[in-house]
A and B are shown apart, each in its own frame.
Chain A
Amino acid sequence: MSGGLESTRRLPRIDAAIRAIALNTFREAIRDRVLYLLLVFALILIVVSQLLSLLTVGDEEKIIADMGLSAISIFGVLTAVFIGVSLVFKEIERRTVYTLLANPVRRWQFLLGKFVGLMAVLLMNVVLMSIALSIVLVLRGQPPWDLVPALFLITIELAVVTSFALLFSTLTNPILAAVWTFASYVAGHLAWSLPLLRDKVTGTIGKWVCDAVYAVMPHLHRLDIKADAVHGLPLPDGYVWMAALYGVSYAAVILLLASVAFERKDFNR
C-alpha cells in the first residue's frame, strides 16, 4: 500500500460531491423544527377556513387562497432566512468545515451543495403546504390548478432569498446575515417604487441613479402573481417562464458572488 500513483487519484465527481453535501444539509435542516411550522400552518388553515364562513360576505375561497399563498410565501422566506444564514456559519463554528474542505471538494461545490440542500427543504415545505391548501379548496369545490404558476414563482422567489442568505452567511455572523437578508427581501419588494421616484426626480444624474439602483435590485414584485392566480387572470404569454429565468439567473449571480467570498475566506477559529 505505497503512496505512488498520484496522478491517477480519482477526484469525486462534481455532482457526487454536491449531492452528498446537499443530502447532508437536507438531513440537518429537517431536524430544525421546520416540520412543526408546517403542522401549525395546516391546522391554522383548517380552523380559519371554517371561521371565515361566519365572517365574510362574498367569496370565501378567495380569502382562503390568498391566505394560503401568503402563508406559503411568508413561511418559506422565514425558513430560508433562519436556516440559510446559519448553514455556513454552523459548519465554521463547529469546525466541521475543516475536515470537509481538507478533502478534494472545491469550495464552490460546498456552497452549491448547501444551496441545493436548503432548496430541497423549501421545496418540500411548499409542496406539503400546497397539498394542504389544495385539500381545503377542493373540499369547498374550488380546483387549485390556477394557483400552480403562483406557487412556482414563489419557489423561484425563495431561491433568490436563499442565495442572499448564503451570501451573507459567508460574510458575517447569523444575526447580521439575517438582517441583511431581510433587507434584501424588503428592497426586492419595494423596487417598484423606484420607477415612480424616477418620474419625480429632476435632473439626468438623479434619473440615472434611480435607473441604476432599480436595475441592480431583485425585482421580487415581478415574481408575485398571487393576485392574478387567485382571480384567474390571464398573464401575458411567456411571463411565468421569463420571470422564472430572471429569478434563477439573479440567484445565480448572488451565488457566484458568495462563491468568490467563500473562496477567499480564512478559517481561523
Chain B
Amino acid sequence: MGENTLAIEIRGLTKAFRGHLGIGRTTVVKGLDLEVRRGEVFGLLGPNGAGKTTSIKMMLGLLRPDSGSVKLFGRSPRDPQARAMIGFLPENPYFYDYLTASEFLDFYGRLQGLAGANRRRRVNETLRRVGLAGHENVALRKFSKGMIQRVGLAQAIQHSPELVVLDEPMSGLDPVGRREVRDLILNLRDGGTTVCFSSHILQDAEMICDRVAILKQGTRIAAGSLNELIEPTVRWFEVSVRGVQADLLQAEVVSESADALLVRVTDAEHLARLIEAVKVHGGDVVSVWPRKDSLEDFFLRQVREVRDVS
C-alpha cells in the first residue's frame, strides 16, 4: 500500500437496474473507468441522471456493481478498513432531527472509531470549523438547510479521513453557502485530503477542481485536468462602452441599456480597433472582460458531438 496508490480506482464499472414490475432494464453506469489521485480535488460532473450518484454509491459499497471493480486506496469498499479512510455526505441529507448537533456528531464519531476525550475534542473542533460553534446543543430539527449541510460536512470530516466524497454538496445553497463549501474543499485539499465531489453545475467545478470526469448517460465522455480539456486561450472579449452610438462601431452589439453598450469582439486585434474607435468618437471604455472557453461550453460541444456521432 504505497504512497502512490490511487485514492479511487474504478475499472469497467457497470450497473443496471430492473424497471418497474421487473420489466426492462436500464443500464445506469456503463463500463466506467476513473482515477482519482491522492491530494487532488476531483469533480464528477454531468447532468442529472448521468449516473454520478450511482457511481458514488458503488464507490462506498452501498451498491454492488454488476461488473467491474472499485478500489479505495487499493481496497474494496466492502472492507471496513477502506471505509475508515473516507468521509461521505449524500445529496439532500436527512439526519435524526431529534438529536442535537453535538449528539449527532458524537454518534457518528463512535462509528468512526473515535474514542472518549479525543472524540469530544474533534466534535467541538469540527463544529467550529464548519461555522456551527454555539449550536452544539440545538436540535437538528431547528437547523436551516444550510446548517444541515454544514453539520453533514462536519460528520464527513471530523475523523480526518484521507478521502472525502460529496454528492452534490452545493445543491440548494445560496451563494454565500456555496462559497463556504468551496472554501472548505480547498481548505481540505491544502491539508492533504483528497476530495471527490459530484455536481451538475459545471461552473462550481471549474473554480476548484484539479481534474474532472464528465459523465453522460452512464458513460464517461471526457476526463482530465481543466487545462487538458479546455483551451486556455481567450475566445472573445466582452466590452462595456459608454457615450458612443452603436452603429458607429463595427462590432457586434450584445445588449444595449440606457447609458452603456455591451459589445463583443472576437480577438485582440479587433479589440484594439474597437478601443481606438471609441476614443475617436469621444466615448469611454468602461470594462473589458476576456471570455475563455468554459467547461460548460466544452460540455455542450461534447454532447453535440456525441449526438452527431450517434
Q: Is the CB of B84 within 8 A of A104?
A: yes
Do A20 and B107 touch (CB < 8 A)? yes
- Knowing A102-B88, A106-B80 touch, does A266 contact B95 (C-beta < 8 A)? no
Is the beta-carbon distance between A104 and B113 smaller than 8 angstroms?
Answer: yes
List residues of chain B with CB within 8 A of the CB of A103: 83-84, 108, 111-112
Give the shortest distance, in Å, between B121 (CB) and chain A (any CB). 15
Whole-angstrom distance between the Cβ of B136 and the nearest chain A Cβ: 18
A266 CA / B54 CA spacing, docked (Å): 11
The answer to whether A98 touches B62 (Cβ under 8 A) is yes
Number of interface residues of B (CB under 8 A): 48
Chain B interface (Cβ < 8 Å from any Cβ of A) = 1, 3, 17, 38-39, 54, 57, 60-64, 73, 80-81, 83-90, 92-96, 98-99, 107-108, 110-113, 115, 152, 155-156, 160, 162-163, 165, 191-194
What count of chain A residues pass the 8 Å CB interface test? 36
Contact residues in A for B98 (Cβ distance below 8 Å): 27-28, 31
* A10 interface hit (Cβ, 8 Å): yes
B94 near A11: Cβ-Cβ < 8 Å: no
Which residue, of B54, B85, B95, B112, has the highest number of chain A Cβ atoms within 10 A? B112
Point out which of A1, A9, A10 has the most chain B C-beta atoms below 10 A from its C-beta: A9
A39: Cβ under 8 A from any B Cβ: no
Instruction: Check: A256 CB closer than 8 A to any chain B CB.
Output: no
Please give me the residue from chain A that is nearest to B104 by CB atom.
A24
Residues of B within 8 A of A106 (CB): 80
Q: How far is the CB of B37 from chain A (nearest CB, A)?
A: 11
Instruction: Give min CB distance, B54 to chain A, whole Å.
Output: 8
Interfacial chain B residues near A21, Cβ < 8 Å = 111
- List B contacts of A12 (CB < 8 A): 110-113
Interface assignment of A94: CB less than 8 Å from any CB of chain B: yes
Chain A residues whose C-beta falls within 8 Å of the C-beta of B111 in the assembled complex? 12, 17, 20-21, 100, 103-105
In the docked arrangement, what's the CA distance between A178 and B260, Å? 70
Query: How far, in whole Å, are A100 and B109 apart by their CA atoms in the complex?
Result: 11
- Smallest Cβ distance from A176 to chain B, in angstroms? 16
Q: A11 to B73, Cβ gap below 8 A?
A: no
Expressed in whole angstroms, the Cα–Cα distance for A27 and B93 within the complex equals 20
CB distance A4 to B110 under 8 Å?
A: no
Contact B110 A16 (CB under 8 A): yes
A106 to chain B, nearest CB (A): 6
- Residue contact A99 to B162, C-beta cutoff 8 Å: no
